[in-house]
Structure 1
């Protein structure tokens, strides 16, 4: 499934039309690479990728080097079975409109069978009506209506993220966390006994009036769900507060220096 996801992502090209600032091209390349996308096509850029583009690409130099530079939009879209144009404003002419998650799902569905494209327009004016006429759908990122214009690289990042998120969900890929070795119930009870003894010994609580405090502390540490190592550290702190020599097994857990 992961290989299939990679193949589908490889068939999705981002096409930037008449980009004015080369830095935006570099930032778009970085946005794509972080999400596993690798196809960047440029239509008549005002500035070809230069030192600023490389700086903004920040490691996505390979995408810039492979980026196609085309004289016309027709050339950039050659072979695409689906084209979705990004539009910051809703057009008066009714057009099939998608939000980013639906756009991602449709692009991936078609990319399983062939080439597809996301079309992004100029920084100042977006896509022209003639360019939108090349698209089967428009995608609109629902931004703040009082300040709705996204930088072209930022728009590319939003759409690239949605594409990757949708692809991962379809392939069953999820973030996994290493299971923690939580302290068992008997170890927690030993800690609570030690804690109560220590609080009384250092004069913080009165054994006759500490039931509410004890319950609150239990609730606090139950929420925290300390693991075995964390519980050993806490027991070591309690022993030190009691004036006892810290057991060797606790001492080994103490940091040798303060973190930066």
Structure 2
């Protein structure tokens, strides 16, 4: 798999330096920075052998993150509220089983040291992962959290999943599902929640292209059948 890391408004040189060092340890070579707040020269002091990653890191806009096939958000805030789909997360072991040997481009979104990722930033993620420390204090240093995630990925090897659905195919499936929801009388105010739930479902299960397009065909056929029946009624 092709792994990258994007830091959202990183604030402290020591943490950014340690992030670069951890990435170097695990062979992750692409670092992106969104609206950075730190001194890059000072950060290289803490990066040690990972300073080359800081040197070639790229500053991008948040919207540019959509170029990746799979966006994985990180959060220490877990919600038990059934309606809060945005912060519905999985653990690192579950994540590894999902993305093992994937050929897709995958980017980890790491939030601010002070406040993490907000709901808007998490909403574009296909998967959200959280590390349960087993204590009331769940917030890890961002470099420590990334180290745990990358270690879990590197130490595990699972059967390959090939020909995974593309971003376009996943979006197409969600689009048809929402159209079907609309004609079936699904409550309009819950449409955005449904869209988010479908996005996370597809992100966690990584359907193949064939599986996804079979479901698209099913939803399309259902829409056509409903439309034909409506025409006969009028």
Q: Deviations over 1:148-202 (max 9, x none)?
A: 1111111111111111112xx349xxxxxxxxxxxxxxxxxxxxxxxxxxxxxxx
Larger helix percent: 2
For residues 108 and 38 of structure 1, the distance between their equivalents in structure 2, rounded to whole angstroms, comes to: 18
Q: How big is the alpha-carbon RMSD for the aligned residues of Structure 1 and Structure 2?
A: 1.8
Larger relative contact order (Cα-Cα within 8 Å, sequence gap ≥ 6) = 2
Q: Deviations over 1:26-56 (max 9, x none)?
A: 10011111112112111111114222x1121
Give the Å deviation of 1:145.
2.8
Structure 2 counterpart of 1:41: 32
Deviates more, 1:17-26 or 1:93-102: 93-102
Deviates more, 1:87-96 or 1:38-47: 87-96
Larger radius of gyration: 1
For residues 105 and 73 of structure 1, the distance between their equivalents in structure 2, rounded to whole angstroms, comes to: 28
1:153 to 112, 120, 143: 143
TM-score by length of 2: 0.62
Structure 2 counterpart of 1:131: 121
Give the Å deviation of 1:104.
2.8
For residues 135 and 77 of structure 2, the distance between their equivalents in structure 1, rounded to whole angstroms, comes to: 9
Deviates more, 1:141-150 or 1:87-96: 87-96
SS of corresponding position for 1:69 = strand
In the alignment, is the contact (CA less than 8 A) between 1:36 and 1:164 conserved in 2?
A: no
Question: Cα gap change, 1:132/1:22 in structure 2, threshold over 3 Å: closer, same or farther?
Answer: same
In the alignment, is the contact (CA less than 8 A) between 1:12 and 1:107 conserved in 2?
A: no
Gaps of 5+ in 1: 1-7, 172-260
SS of corresponding position for 1:85 = strand
Structure 2 counterpart of 1:14: 5
Q: Which runs of 4+ in 1 moved over 6 A?
A: none
In the alignment, is the contact (CA less than 8 A) between 1:18 and 1:43 conserved in 2?
A: yes
For residues 45 and 138 of structure 1, the distance between their equivalents in structure 2, rounded to whole angstroms, comes to: 22
Matched, 1:30 2:21: yes
Structure 2 counterpart of 1:225: none
Q: How many residues align?
A: 155
Give the Å deviation of 1:86.
0.5
Matched, 1:57 2:32: no
Question: Cα gap change, 1:49/1:108 in structure 2, threshold over 3 Å: closer, same or farther?
Answer: farther
Structure 1 counterpart of 2:95: 103
Structure 2 counterpart of 1:88: 76
TM-score by length of 1: 0.56
For residues 100 and 39 of structure 2, the distance between their equivalents in structure 1, rounded to whole angstroms, comes to: 29
